[in-house]
Chain A
């Protein structure tokens, strides 16, 4: 009898200590080479010196080992949603037959452990009928990287012969849209790296009118606080870029286009916001990067914090569990950075919404993540512009201030 009680007690303690994950996003680098040679590419910029030494395409054996790694991770963390994002390099350089097999294998072994979803981030250059068929078969949702119409996209997004990529992307987006219209795949999204010199009125129209895409995500270029003075001058212009995009969206897309950044910002001004505390030891969203050789790495969007990124240990799915990986101190660094408001931001009206900006943009060699975002002026310009626009449209000023202040109070009292 005492043995039973003892077992129950241990089990209870285990449950109390157990961390659970709402969504695990797996950035799965199934191909480590690219058919484009974009001049700003973060991935081949040298931060990861092993990139060229990794297998160009993941092997079946590694896919099997990765699957086991994720399966145990799901068991250890009771992961509710497992989101596998096929990434690269350029993932469509894999043979579509291997991709088909991989999706079958992952589904067969993981779909009973978690709510499994697939997506792919592609440069859209190589999108054959076979590829669209296999994406449709496995319900893979698609994100395409493109920087604008031809005159803007083909400034940086060039192939290895120096040729532009826009025309190929354009044709393939049309093919993907056709598949979406037939109900075979979900509507695609576009991701665009911003450039302070480009015309975003023209680019917005190209994405929504010419390409007919309704989900847009605009990325600020990789920068940290060590950016030189010339770059800092450029950075202030990104505020104008973001304001231009907001005005375009408001004028032409508010009804049927979702721009991720604006959706996120505007979600702070809904009529009612209900805050709920996550349970203890609950991680709502966790990212892990898996390479073609089975190496596990931290989120590579953190590469602008290069000195920190390079310090992060690497491990391999053959020798490490997800639990071992996530209990490393680098994740404590990130949690601390994200939950600590930079001193410079303490008197800022927008601090509770901006939180100092993305941590990689807060990094400097001398201060780590302690400073405010290098994009502070640009972000603030957008926030002020949106607030003024809402007030001009009849949004009650006191309500807007309450929304910001209420958020701040919630942030102070609600953080766990």
Chain B
């Protein structure tokens, strides 16, 4: 294991943030390899909306009206 890379990953994780939406609906389509159509994260329950964080930058940003008020 490359310790420098693991440390870099840890630093990157700790400095980023994630917004998750608690809601229903289907899990994203697993047969679709296209990164631009996948908004989902874990099975079923939580769906990220493409906001901050290094891991979802490939998702298109949501339209303003898909943001949910806190």
Residues in A lying within 8 Å of B, measured CB to CB: 21-23, 25, 27, 42, 80-81, 83, 85, 87, 115, 117, 119-121, 141-145, 186-192, 215-217, 219, 247, 250-251, 254, 258, 260, 263-264, 266-279, 282-287, 299-301, 334-335, 338-339, 353-359, 389-390, 392-395, 410-411, 414-416
Q: Which of B1, B22, B33, B70 has the most CB of A within 10 A?
A: B33
B20 contacts which chain A residues (CB < 8 A)? 267, 273-276
A270 and B37 within 8 A (CB)? no
| A193 nearest in chain B by CB position | B31
Per the 8 Å Cβ criterion, residues 11-57 of B in contact with A are 11, 13-45, 47-49, 53, 55-56
Complex Cα distance, B13 from A327, in Å, reads 40
- CB proximity of B6 to chain A, nearest CB, Å: 3
Complex-state Cα separation, A399 to B14, whole angstroms: 10
Query: What is the distance, in angstroms, from A246's C-beta to the closest C-beta of chain B?
Result: 11
- When the two chains form the complex, which single residue of B1, B8, B49, B58 contacts A254, counting CB atoms closer than 8 Å? B8
Find chain A residues with CB under 8 A from B19 CB.
273-274, 276
CB contacts (< 8 Å) of A83 on chain B: these are 37
The answer on a CB contact under 8 Å between B13 and A270 is: yes
Interface centre among B7, B47, B55, B65 (most CB of A within 10 A): B55
Give the chain A neighbours of B30 by CB distance below 8 A: 217, 219, 301, 358
User: With A and B bound together, what is the CA distance between A142 and B37 in angstroms?
Assistant: 10
CA distance A81 to B61 in the complex (A): 11
CB-defined contacts of B37 to chain A, threshold 8 Å? 25, 83, 85, 117, 119, 141
In the complex, chain B residues whose CB is within 8 Å of the CB of A415: 22, 45
Which residue of chain B is the closest to A265 with respect to CB atoms? B42
What are 18 A-B pairs with beta-carbon distances under 8 A? A22-B47, A23-B39, A25-B29, A25-B32, A85-B34, A143-B32, A189-B34, A217-B33, A254-B8, A266-B55, A277-B21, A285-B25, A338-B45, A339-B44, A358-B27, A390-B6, A392-B3, A415-B45
> Given A117-B60, A358-B30, are A282 and B23 neighbors across the interface (CB < 8 Å)?
yes
Name B residues whose Cβ lies closer than 8 Å to a Cβ of A.
1-3, 5-11, 13-45, 47-49, 53, 55-56, 58, 60, 62-63, 65-66, 68, 70
Taking CB atoms, residues of chain A closer than 8 Å to B5 are: 250-251, 254
Contact A355 B70 (CB under 8 A): no
Most buried by B among A117, A188, A264: A264
Query: Quick one: given A219-B30, A338-B45, are A276 and B22 in contact (CB under 8 Å)?
Result: yes
Return the contact of A278 from the options B9, B21, B32, B39 (Cβ within 8 A): B21
- Give the complex CA separation of A415 and B58 in angstroms: 27
For B26, the chain A residues whose CB sits under 8 A away are 25, 285-287, 299, 334
A contact residues around B60 at 8 Å (CB) = 81, 117
B60 to chain A minimum Cβ distance, whole angstroms, is 7
The 8 closest A-B pairs by CB, nearest first: A191-B33, A393-B6, A143-B33, A278-B23, A338-B44, A143-B34, A263-B55, A272-B17
B68 touching A277 by the CB < 8 A rule?
A: yes
A264-B55, A282-B68 known, 13 other contacts, Cβ within 8 Å: A22-B47, A22-B62, A22-B66, A85-B34, A117-B37, A119-B34, A141-B37, A266-B55, A267-B53, A285-B47, A338-B27, A338-B44, A355-B42
Question: Does B56 contact A115, Cβ atoms closer than 8 Å?
Answer: no
Query: Could you say which residues of chain B place their CB within 8 Å of the CB of A274?
Result: 17-20
